[in-house]
Amino acid sequence: MALPITSLPIPQSTVRYLSSRNVVYLSDLLKTLPWLDSYNEESVILQMEELNLPEVHRRLLTDFLINHLHQTAFQAPQIGKKLVPIITFSSSLDSLLCGGIFPNEIVEFLGEPGSGTSQLCMQLAVDCSIPEMFGGRACKSLLIDCNGDTCNIRLNQMAKATLTHLNLIARSAEEKDITSKLTVDELLSKVYTARCTNYTQLIALINTVSKDCNYGAIIIDALATHFRHEFEDMRQRTNIIAEFSNKLHKLCIDAPVSLIIVNQVRMDGEGSIQPCLGESWSHTATRRIFLRRVSTDVYSATIMKGKRSGETANFRISSRGIRDCPAQ
Amino acid sequence: MFPTPCNWLLRQNKLLKFQNTLPVLDELVGGLHPGQIIELCGPSGIGKSQVCWHLIRDCLNAGKNVAMISSRKIQDYDLENLPNLSNLSISYASSVYNLLVSLAAVNSMSVSLVVIDGIQPLLQAVLGSANFKGQALLNEVKCGIGTVSVKSLVIYTNGLVSVGDGNHGPALGRAWEVAPSVRIMMLRDREGGRVMWRNREVTARLEIGDQGVEISWN
């Protein structure tokens, strides 16, 4: 590649240092690093320490290598072990989602205000902490609240209802043992919430979380909130969203996290409902689901993109959380 | 490289074509053989990735090697019905530099089909008014893809952007418009069916089923 190193995101001082060492193109740089084929972060840091570079350049180059050239090795894929989905507690919605929300995928929920998106977010956050014995993931979840719609009291209510449900379905002695020791506090201790008041905070939060992600699910409630009104320069907004989308994908690739993102909708010129944030954002999510309120407590979900595209399912939001509609 | 007569090159390329089950697509793009760079351009959810997976399955069925560079994690259900999984190599790209390095690595592998799924988010992040290096990087990617296409068929997926008056055009700007050898626009028609256009003239109809895609003339 005859890409000059001036095009790389490294500062001028490092560029000058590299040119003095006769490294002018990206291919020259890669030639001095023969182990690019397969490596992980620790070995990059170790091997960079072996090269005799001044401290400041070494640090910057290591950062660049880890952030941008990580995992470029080609590997044959292997079908892994069965993945455990996060359920939504409504069996019709679960079967629409082919089981629930799986790790390593980005799912986008769209809807008008009042179509059940925030309730669904809270339910999914609580459902992450269901113990493995009952078919849950027993992992931590992070609920990032951009709108202010997350309510601790409601999370408490949903966790109580989940615990009651688990108590009811426990059959064997082992299961009863687990549910007797489980408390609402313990279920909720796995649900973390964060509040973001502008897009910089949101990006900073995702950056921090990406460094060492041990959450099983990251739920962003209303991504569009901060991106809709704060930007005058649309080009800048497109770039920031594109880079954010890259970061989210990298997060999904590196760790077995499920990313659930709620988006808002807008009316376009012809009066039809379109998702916010534009076409370039639409390609980020692997699945997109449109939520709509049908009647007082009945809501419907339609898949716009992904498996079972075009199918619809109904669910109900009650005091216990998301549940199935009663059979007619 | 010594000068070679073009008709010989074209014949060689056509011989290297792998058996595929999409004859309509074959004719629509002018031949699915090495030397072609095909761009599948369309809105979200229209089936660009589905077409790519169908072609990957055909190539693996024919016993050839496939390299895939993806910007999003590939799920197990995509890989379920594929034969000869050991002939498929996957690399993940989360930035342009990743993509460049992966393209350079593909050159040293002997693959019949190279699929780049989701090239738009990678390149969109470096383009923009504040970043003049973006065009240089775009050029590098074009050259990288061109080099790879000498020995393999290259297919990549792009997205749409609005170009005013409610119209849509391929993303990534005017400079990228000349990157592929064939651009296939995939759109929804009035009844909601999926249509594939080449050069706004020739059209074909796309249907997505459980076993793969079906493309027929319009």
* Model ipTM value: 0.75
Classify residue A320 by its DSSP letter.
T
Angle between helices A117-127 and A152-169 (to 10 degrees): 50
When comparing pLDDT for A225 and A7, which is higher?
A225
pLDDT of residue B69: 92
Residue B126 has pLDDT above 60, yes or no: yes
Contact between residue B195 and residue B218 where contact means Cβ atoms under 8 Å apart: yes
When comparing pLDDT for B210 and B27, which is higher?
B27
How far is it, in rounded angstroms, from Cα A241 to Cα A298?
33
Q: Which of A290-294, B104-108, B198-202 has the highest mean pLDDT?
A: A290-294
A41 phi, psi to nearest 5 deg: -60, -40
Burial label for A28, CB within 10 Å (0-12, 13-18, 19+), is middle
| Proportion of chain B above pLDDT 70, given as a percent | 97
pLDDT of residue A25: 82
pLDDT of residue A169: 85
Residue B4 has pLDDT above 60, yes or no: yes
Residue the block writes with tokens 């076409």: A279
- Please name the member of A74, A98, A286 whose beta carbon is closest to the beta carbon of B67: A74
Find, in chain B, the residue whose alpha carbon is nearest to that of A281.
B121
Helix (H) or strand (E) holding B212: none
pLDDT tens-digit map of A64-80:
777 666 656 677 777 76
* Lowest mean pLDDT, pick from A29-43, A113-127, B30-44, B111-125: A29-43
CB pair distance less than 8 Å for B131 and A30: no
Interface test with B, best of A6, A7, A302 (most B CBs within 10 A): A7
Residue B129 has pLDDT above 60, yes or no: no
How far is it, in rounded angstroms, from Cα A79 to Cα A81?
7
Per-residue pLDDT band for A328 (boundaries 50, 70, 90) equals: low
Interface test with A, best of B41, B48, B73 (most A CBs within 10 A): B73
pLDDT of residue A202: 92
Contact between residue A92 and residue A286 where contact means Cβ atoms under 8 Å apart: no
- Please name the member of B97, B166, B168 whose beta carbon is closest to the beta carbon of A68: B97
Question: How far is the alpha carbon of B180 from chain A, nearest alpha carbon, in Å?
Answer: 19
Residue A50 has pLDDT above 70, yes or no: yes
pLDDT tens-digit map of B180-189:
999 999 888 8
Find, in chain A, the residue whose alpha carbon is nearest to that of B118.
A283
pTM, whole model, 2 decimals? 0.82
